[in-house]
Amino acid sequence: MLVIMAQGATQQEIDEVMTRIRALSYECHLITDESGVAIGATGNGRGSHRLQVLECLTGVDRVVPISTPYKLASKETKKVKSFLKVNTLEIGNGRFVVMAGPCSVESETQLMETAKAVSEAGATVLRGGAFKPRTSPYAFQGLGEEGLKLLAKAREAFGLSVVTEVTNPNDVELIASYADILQIGARNCQNFSLLKEVGRIRKPALLKRGMMTSIEEFLMSAEYILSEGNSDVILCERGIRTFETATRNTLDISAVPVLKEKTHLPVIVDPSHAAGNWKYVPALCMAAVVAGADGLIIEVHPWPEKALSDGAQSLKPDRFRTLMTDLRQLAQLVGRDI
Ligand code: PEP
Ligand code: MN
Give the per-residue pLDDT at 81.
96
Ligand 1: does its nearest atom lie under 6 Å from the Cβ of 60? no
Closest residue CA from atom 6 of ligand 1:
185
Closest residue CA from atom 10 of ligand 1:
186
CA distances from 45 to 27, 53, 121, 306 (A): 8, 14, 51, 55
Asked whether the predicted pLDDT for residue 225 surpasses 90, the reply is yes
Ligand 1: does its nearest atom lie under 6 Å from the Cβ of 209? no
| CA dihedral for 125, 131, 136, 140, sign (positive or negative) | positive
- Supply the Cα-derived Rg of the chain in whole angstroms: 21
Which atom, in ligand 1's list, is nearest to the CA of 208?
9
Q: Closest Cα partner for 71 from 50, 30, 41?
A: 41
- Give strand pairing partners of 297: 99
Summarize pLDDT for 62-84 with one digit per residue, the tens. 999 999 999 999 999 999 999 99
SS3 assignment for 209-225: CCCCCCHHHHHHHHHHH
Give the integer Cα–Cα distance in Å for 217 and 209.
9
Query: What CATH number does the domain located at 2-64 have?
Result: 3.30.70.1140
Asked whether the predicted pLDDT for residue 289 surpasses 90, the reply is yes
**Please, which residues have CB less than 5 A from ligand 2, an ion?**
103, 310
Asked whether the predicted pLDDT for residue 159 surpasses 90, the reply is yes
Q: How does the average pLDDT of the chain come out, rounded?
A: 97
Per-position b or e across 295-309, b if 16+ CB within 10 A of its CB = bbbbbbbbebeebbb
E strand segments, 216-319 = 233-237, 267-269, 295-299
Q: What is the pTM of this model?
A: 0.97
∠ CA 331-103-326, rounded to 5°: 20
Domain 84-333 has CATH 2.60.120.1060: no
Q: Closest Cα partner for 72 from 227, 234, 256?
A: 227
Q: How far is the CA of 135 from the centre of ligand 2 (A)?
A: 12
Q: How far is the CA of 63 from the centre of ligand 1 (A)?
A: 41
**Which of 195, 208, 268, 298 gets mutated to test ligand 1 (max ligand atoms within 8 A of its CB)?**
208
Sequence-distant (≥ 6) Cβ neighbours of residue 231 within 8 angstroms: 72, 82, 84
Give the per-residue pLDDT at 4.
96
Residues 2-22: what's their mean pLDDT? 96
Domains 2-64 and 84-333 agree in fold: no
Which atom, in ligand 1's list, is nearest to the CA of 133?
5
Quickly list DSSP for 48-117: HHHHHGGGGSTTEEEEE---SS--TTBTTT--SPP-EEETTEEESSSS-EEEEE-SB---HHHHHHHHHH
Residues 100-112: what's their mean pLDDT? 98
Give the integer Cα–Cα distance in Å for 166 and 131.
7
Give the integer Cα–Cα distance in Å for 209 and 189.
6
Which atom, in ligand 1's list, is nearest to the CA of 270?
9
Domain chopping of the chain, boundaries: 2-64, 84-333
Give the integer Cα–Cα distance in Å for 184 and 199.
11
Q: How far is the CA of 139 from the centre of ligand 2 (A)?
A: 13
Give the per-residue pLDDT at 91.
98
Percent of the chain having pLDDT more than 90? 98
Summarize pLDDT for 17-57 with one digit per residue, the tens. 999 999 999 999 999 988 899 999 999 999 889 999 999 99
